[in-house]
Structure 1
Amino acid sequence: MGMIRINNLRVHTFNGVLPEERRNGQQLALDIAIKYPIETKVRHDDVHETINYAEVRAITDEFVTTHSYKLIESLANHLLTALLDHFPTVETINVKIRKYSVPMPGIFDDVEIEVEGAPHAK
């Protein structure tokens, strides 16, 4: 089974629990992995036979920059649903969201949320 991946897509959003996060915004990074039967579906070198990753990026960017949640878990779940609704021919979609500016003590690079799902009707 083929995989289409967009790695480390950076977006500026206004998500977070604290009022400062929602007011000032912050950068999030997303990885999107789409399981799709490339081996059997892409036969004619035609973008219409595959999942157009430019379209995946555009939908993701539009969704993430126009929706605001307190939790990146909620953002991940709702984005996953939007992508699955838009691309019903995929096997599964996996979304990872990394948040770098996390207001908690400690030394760490980021906090990451990961969700995965499949379309309801095939």
Structure 2
Amino acid sequence: MDKIRMQGMRFYGYHGVYPEENKLGQQYKVDVELHLDLSKAAAEDDLTATVNYAEAYTVIKQIVEGPPFQLIEALAGSIASRLLDIYTSVNEVTVRVTKPNPPFEVYFDGVVVELSRKRDV
């Protein structure tokens, strides 16, 4: 299966369990991998035969910058479900959400949640 990867997208959101996270917010990093057949797009140079990643970016941005989720697992799940709903040519999607600054004293690059969802056949 072919893939489109959208890597290193950064958005400001207000997700978290703690009230200060919902009030102050922080930057989130999102990576998305779309699995689909790109043979027609490659052969015909036709945008309608692929996923317009500018549009997909807008969908992802609206979710991350929209109403807050308590868990980044729920945020990633919402992104995956929405992309599968909109883009019927996508067979599987992998979403990776990084929360770089959890609200407790830690010394690492952030917490990352990665989930994959497949289209129900």
TM-score (norm. length: structure 2): 0.93
| 1:4 corresponds to | 4
Report the identity percentage: 32
For 1:1-122, list aligned pairs within 5 A.
1-39=1-39, 41-42=40-41, 43-121=43-121
Q: What do residues 9-43 of structure 1 show as CA deviations (whole Å, max 9, x unaligned)?
A: 0000010111111011110000000011112x313
For structure 2, the residue ranges without an aligned partner over 5 or more in a row are none
Residue type of the alignment partner of 1:23: K
How many residue pairs end up in the alignment? 120
CA RMSD of aligned residues (A): 1.1
For structure 1, the residue ranges without an aligned partner over 5 or more in a row are none
After TM superposition, the structure 1 stretch with the greater mean CA deviation from structure 2, 3-12 or 63-72, is 63-72
Runs of 4+ in 1 over 3 A off after TM superposition: none
Residue type of the alignment partner of 2:117: G
Q: Deviation of residue 6 (structure 1)?
A: 0.6
Q: What do residues 35-54 of structure 1 show as CA deviations (whole Å, max 9, x unaligned)?
A: 11112x31311110111111
Residue type of the alignment partner of 1:15: H
